[in-house]
Amino acid sequence: MANDSQSLLELDVQFAMAGAGSASRQGIPTPHEFHRWAEAALTDIDHAVEMVIRVVDERESRELNGRYRAQDKPTNVLSFPFTLPAGVDISHLGDLVICAPVVKREARQQQKREVDHWAHMVVHGVLHLRGMDHQTEAQAHAMETLEKQVLAGLGIADPYHDRCIDVKESHDWDPALPATAAWLRAIHGADDGRRAGRVLRDVSPLRKTSVQGGDE
């Protein structure tokens, strides 16, 4: 676990692929990389926030995509913004569920460095957690512009330069997605918002790593 006392982001990274050993995690970014990319999309915040990134296989991605978006297929990243229930005061921004096989496949198809595509999915997902959208052309332009700025700051080229990817089609966020607490209650039976906001961290036997910035 890496720690940075200056970081305002507390990130819980979970590796939930089938057989989540070293072989299945080959080519998947480290918790420190996930933290760096997520934090890059949060540079203007002035308060501590928590979020979860859950790396899954196609089975779980397909299940969640079907349950919450009526799409019977795995997808690259699902964003679950967190809406606080009344009386609950926590700083949970939300959860990203990223499908490793889909991200790897898309990177090959789009002839991109795999690590760059991972970074793009994290940045894109975090911006959704912060309320950005791409339902209209104006929204899409604003979101893509900010994505490109954040990625450029990470040394990553414009992911839209040849328009080979349309995140509005391949991505996976929808304003109808339930609040994080709601979908966690549905899956894990949490009975209150505070517990629901942390259920993913407590589920066994998932492999989990908490990160608070800094170098590994």
Pick the CATH number of 9-211 from 3.30.310.40, 3.90.380.10, 3.50.50.100, 3.40.390.30: 3.40.390.30
Backbone angles phi, psi at 210, to 5 degrees: -95, 135
If you count them, how many residues does the chain have? Answer: 216
pLDDT digits (tens, 9 = 90+) for 140-194: 999 999 999 999 999 999 998 765 444 444 444 443 344 444 434 443 344 333 3
pLDDT of residue 212: 25
- Residue 84's SS3 state is coil
pLDDT above 80 for 12: yes
Residue-wise pLDDT for 92-113, tens only, equals 899 999 999 999 999 999 999 9
CB within 8 Å of 105: residues ≥ 6 apart: none
Indicate the pLDDT class of residue 30, thresholds 50, 70 and 90: very high
Q: Domain ranges for the chain, please list them.
A: 9-211
Task: Give Cα separations from 104 to 12, 76, 119, 134 (angstroms).
Answer: 22, 9, 12, 23
What integer is the mean pLDDT of 192-206? 34
Percent of the chain's residues with pLDDT above 70: 69
Question: 9: which strand partners?
Answer: 49
How far is it, in rounded angstroms, from Cα 95 to Cα 79? 6
